[in-house]
Amino acid sequence: MTPPPKRSASDFVFGKVIGEGSFSTVYLAKDIHTSKEFAIKVLEKRHIIREKKMEYVSREKKVLQILSPCASHFVRLYCTFQDPERLYFVLTYAKNGELLPHLNKNGSFTIECTKYYTAELVLALEVLNSKGIIHRDLKPENILFDENWHILITDFGSAKILSSNEDRNEDENNKRRKNSFVGTAQYVSPELLKDTEAVFASDLWALGCIIYQMVSGLPPFRAGSEYLIFQKILKLEYEFPEGFDQTAKDLVEKLLVLSPSKRLGATDSQPYTSIRQHEFFSDIDWDNIGPPPRII
Ligand code: ATP
């Protein structure tokens, strides 16, 4: 049940700390009226201002508000409130945590599992595209699992919202401060490392990296420093380990393409039909992808 607006911290019983970010602490909390569990992200205003992260926080809120009505594969923002010191975001509690530790624990995912979660990611990216949102920092740490093991994409602080006034202002800023890197080294697309702007296909690059990682256990571009990782990305320098599933390999190769417009799906008139039609998904029913397979 959705809590009515104008809640405050006293409407929740705060429990354990689920996680900590650079600017936030996330608590498990229970709505005292409904007993429903939520993840509440608490941000110290002083810290946000000191670190000049106001834009980051307001962008995250704005994207979550855009996505919340179509909440299927995204963490939903139920409400926000504040007190003199803190901001509070009341979010869906992703009970099964981040994808990354599950992947690390298992070493890699089965092809069945990889296919299922790639399909959920494609459905989520279709929604983002339809809303004019580029995530720009898609990675296994930002993909959470709900209680039924469906994905919930989170962390929209680096996202770009197209065709809004805010975005136009941001574009102006970007023109002034070129080469400002957003995202995470291993999953950042080549265009974000150059002077070019992020496009929807920047998230398709990250998708290629994540598929590679689900199949093999490690991201495709690895090196001892961010600088060396960037060099590898710009040269498309990566290899497939022996035994890498052939159809998954073909899909990854079609996504990890230096030119964003040449990535599979990038020029689809109906995004992402051409990804849906790839052989990797031949046994996926896109109208009903069914329940998730067990993660083993
Ligand atoms: P940073 O801000 O440094 O990039 P972050 O984006 O991970 O870090 P938060 O969004 O505050 O920071 O999340 C902190 C931790 O809490 C993360 O490890 C994340 O897995 C966990 N977490 C965040 N949101 C939820 C949620 N809705 N349900 C369950 N766990 C969550």
| pLDDT exceeds cutoff 90 at 86 | yes
The residue whose CB lies within 8 Å of the most ligand 1 atoms, and thus the one to mutate among 22, 24, 40, 143, is: 24
pLDDT bucket at 72, cuts 50 / 70 / 90: confident
Task: Read off the tokens for 237.
Answer: 């320098």
For ligand 1, whether the C-beta of 257 sits within 6 Å is no
Q: How much distance in Å is there from the Cα of 19 to the middle of ligand 1?
A: 6
**% of residues, the chain, pLDDT over 70:** 91
For ligand 1, whether the C-beta of 92 sits within 6 Å is yes
For ligand 1, whether the C-beta of 155 sits within 6 Å is yes
For ligand 1, whether the C-beta of 93 sits within 6 Å is yes
Residue whose C-alpha is closest to residue 30's, from 49, 48, 3, 57: 3
- Does the complex come out with an ipTM higher than 0.95? yes
Return the ligand 1 atom nearest residue 155 CA: 6
Q: How much distance in Å is there from the Cα of 23 to the middle of ligand 1?
A: 10
Task: Please provide the size of the chain in residues.
Answer: 296
pLDDT 10s digits, 3-12: 555 889 999 9
For ligand 1, whether the C-beta of 137 sits within 6 Å is no
For ligand 1, whether the C-beta of 75 sits within 6 Å is yes
pLDDT 10s digits, 155-176: 999 999 997 544 444 544 444 3
Q: Among the listed ranges 154-168, 229-243, 258-272, 274-288, which one has the minimum average pLDDT value?
A: 154-168
Confidence (pLDDT) at 2 = 59
Q: How much distance in Å is there from the Cα of 266 to the middle of ligand 1?
A: 29
| pLDDT exceeds cutoff 60 at 19 | yes
Confidence (pLDDT) at 181 = 64
Query: Whose alpha carbon is nearest atom 23 of ligand 1?
Result: 26
Mark 48-81 as b/e (b = at least 16 C-beta within 10 Å). beeeebeebbebbbbbbebbbeeeebbbbbbbbb
Query: Whose alpha carbon is nearest atom 12 of ligand 1?
Result: 21
pLDDT 10s digits, 174-192: 443 444 566 789 999 999 9
Helix axes 246-255, 200-216, angle to 10 degrees: 150
For ligand 1, whether the C-beta of 41 sits within 6 Å is yes
Alpha-carbon distance of 43 to 37, in angstroms, equals 19
Query: Whose alpha carbon is nearest atom 4 of ligand 1?
Result: 21
Query: Whose alpha carbon is nearest atom 21 of ligand 1?
Result: 19
Choice among 11, 31, 83, 137 that is catalytic: 137
pLDDT bucket at 296, cuts 50 / 70 / 90: low
Q: Is 31 a catalytic residue?
A: no
Alpha-carbon distance of 96 to 151, in angstroms, equals 10
